[in-house]
Amino acid sequence: MKVALLTNEFPPDIYGGAGIHIQYLSKELRKFCSVEARAFGNQNDTEENLHALGFSKKLDLSPADSRFSKILKPLDINLQWAASLNDIDILHCHTWYSHFGGVLASKLLQKPLILTTHSLEPHRPWKAEQLGAGGYAMSTWIERTAYESADGVIAVSQGMKRDVMKLYGVPEDRVHVIYNGIDPEFYSPTFDNSILEKYGISPNKPFVLFVGRITRQKGISQLIRAIPYLTPNTQIVLCAGAPDTQELADECKNLIEEEKKNRDGIIWIEEMMPHSELRVLYSHATVFATPSLYEPFGIINLEAMSCGTPVVGSAVGGIPEIIVDGETGFLVPLEPKSETDFDPINPTKFQKDFADKLNVFLTNPELAKKMGEASRKRAMDVFSWKAIAQETYLFYQKVIERYSKEGARK
């Protein structure tokens, strides 16, 4: 079997959870089938059963709203993908950035199309800031069209399965839940004080760790606003970069500078850290924080858990399927329910509640250690990439068989 993986991110160009998913899935998937990957970038790599080819935009377009380029560039690259593919058995798309190319190639080649649901545009209204209102309408339209055309859908959580069925009317028998995974050999407890000192983190003080992009979705501003409620003598380490917009970057910077006036120990690491160093931060952290407003799965939680660190996360999306409340960390209900309901000046109940749960670990290192051990065990027992790749391959077989019987979908 030859599968075409269509994705915005592919090694070495990885910046988010979907990219990490692709990195490890492709590595294990090639043990079952041949993988032909298409990505955004300069990739041209061939390994056993894996060929990855990257593309850049060719059309020199200058839309009236510069934000629309973030839509037009993917469409340009997707067209090139569709023209470059041949002799494949199935197409597998990841995120809306690849959906247009997947639908085109599926129709051109008369091959089945599978989508992995990492996120859904209707649940991310703040994307209008990044793409413009018209751009966001386009990304949502592209996504809807792809789901209406798909022959099979992989949801990364039960919550995502319910969402894709509700939003896009995908029949239940075409949606299969396959969790994201983790490499427990790489993401294992790893300690090195020199890495902490490199980034200005004291090895002798407890710290809360956040890792994520500067975007409304990840809730970083809510964590920053929770800082005044954290126990004294606590460090807050924010590994946060790749802002969706300059306005969001400025907002984050202003919030951090304001909090630094009131306490020491706030460390902001803006550059992309190598994962060999990031796992050291995971391991040393007293607690990992995931204050997301929307999180279809949350692979970042698995990375922290696999390194033996408990997690406090929002009770949204797929996070409750990763964190076992009271055993591997704590879940915090999102109150109020959406980013637009948050008052930027007056602290919300969510911010206070989130800080309270972080404080449980910051003031009780023995409990943090106990739940951290339980976290690593859960990561190893439930979220293996080898098992996930095998389940994905079996789903490919099922979809190809059904496609051959039913024919191409309209």
CA nearest 294: which of 126, 48, 51, 66?
A: 126
For the segment 221-276, what is each residue's pLDDT rounded down to a tens digit? 999 999 999 999 999 999 998 888 888 889 999 999 999 999 999 999 998 899 99
- Residue 311, beta-bridge partner list: 288, 329
Quick one: pLDDT at residue 197? 96
Quick one: pLDDT at residue 407? 72
Contact 298, 290 (CB under 8 A): yes
Structure token digits, residue 165:
């069925």
Is the domain of 47 the same as that of 174? yes
**pLDDT at 341 exceeding the cut of 70:** no
Quick one: pLDDT at residue 347? 52
- Domain membership flag for residue 187: no
Structure token digits, residue 316:
């949204």
- Residue 37, beta-bridge partner list: 5, 52
Domain count, the chain: 2
Q: What percent of the chain has pLDDT over 70?
A: 96
Is the domain of 161 the same as that of 210? no
Is the domain of 240 the same as that of 144? no
CATH number of the domain encompassing residue 169: 3.40.50.2000
Is the domain of 19 the same as that of 131? yes
Is the domain of 205 the same as that of 131? no
CA distance 68 to 246: 16
CA distance 88 to 3: 6
The residue written with tokens 């106990």 in the block is: 370
How many beta carbons lie within 10 A of that of residue 407, not counting itself? 8
Q: What percent of the chain has pLDDT over 90?
A: 80
Is the domain of 141 the same as that of 161? yes
- Domain membership flag for residue 188: no
Sign for the CA dihedral angle at 187, 309, 219, 208 comes to negative
Is the domain of 397 the same as that of 259? no
For the segment 195-230, what is each residue's pLDDT rounded down to a tens digit? 999 999 999 999 999 999 898 889 999 999 999 999
Strand ranges of the sheet holding 235-241, from the earlier edge strand across to the other edge: 266-269, 235-241, 207-213, 287-290, 311-314, 329-332
Is the domain of 123 the same as that of 267? no
Is the domain of 33 the same as that of 154? yes
For the segment 62-109, what is each residue's pLDDT rounded down to a tens digit? 898 999 999 999 999 999 999 999 999 999 999 999 999 999 999 999
For the segment 99-145, what is each residue's pLDDT rounded down to a tens digit? 999 999 999 999 999 999 998 999 888 888 889 999 999 999 999 99
CA distance 212 to 16: 8
SS3 call for 185: coil
Contact 240, 216 (CB under 8 A): no
Range of the domain at 143: 2-181+384-406
Is the domain of 151 the same as that of 217? no
How many beta carbons lie within 10 A of that of residue 60, not counting itself? 6
- Domain membership flag for residue 112: yes
Quick one: pLDDT at residue 345? 44
Structure token digits, residue 60:
């020199």
Distance of CA 321 to the CA centre of its chain: 15
- Domain membership flag for residue 134: yes
Contact 287, 362 (CB under 8 A): yes
Is the domain of 228 the same as that of 215? yes
- Domain membership flag for residue 199: yes
- Domain membership flag for residue 334: yes
Quick one: pLDDT at residue 314? 95
Quick one: pLDDT at residue 317? 87
Quick one: pLDDT at residue 343? 53
Mean pLDDT of 370-381: 95
Is the domain of 20 the same as that of 162? yes
Mean pLDDT of 164-185: 94
- Domain membership flag for residue 304: yes
Sorting pLDDT into bands at 50, 70 and 90, what band is 399?
A: very high
For the segment 275-301, what is each residue's pLDDT rounded down to a tens digit? 999 999 999 999 999 999 888 888 899
Quick one: pLDDT at residue 344? 46
Q: Which residues of 80-110 are buried (b: 16+ CB within 10 A; e: fewer)?
A: bbbeebeebbbbbbbbbbbbbbbbbbbeebe
* Least confident span in 29-38, 228-237, 293-302, 322-331: 293-302
**pLDDT at 408 exceeding the cut of 80:** no
Mean pLDDT of 152-167: 94
CA nearest 72: which of 58, 85, 82, 84?
A: 58
pTM of the prediction?
A: 0.76
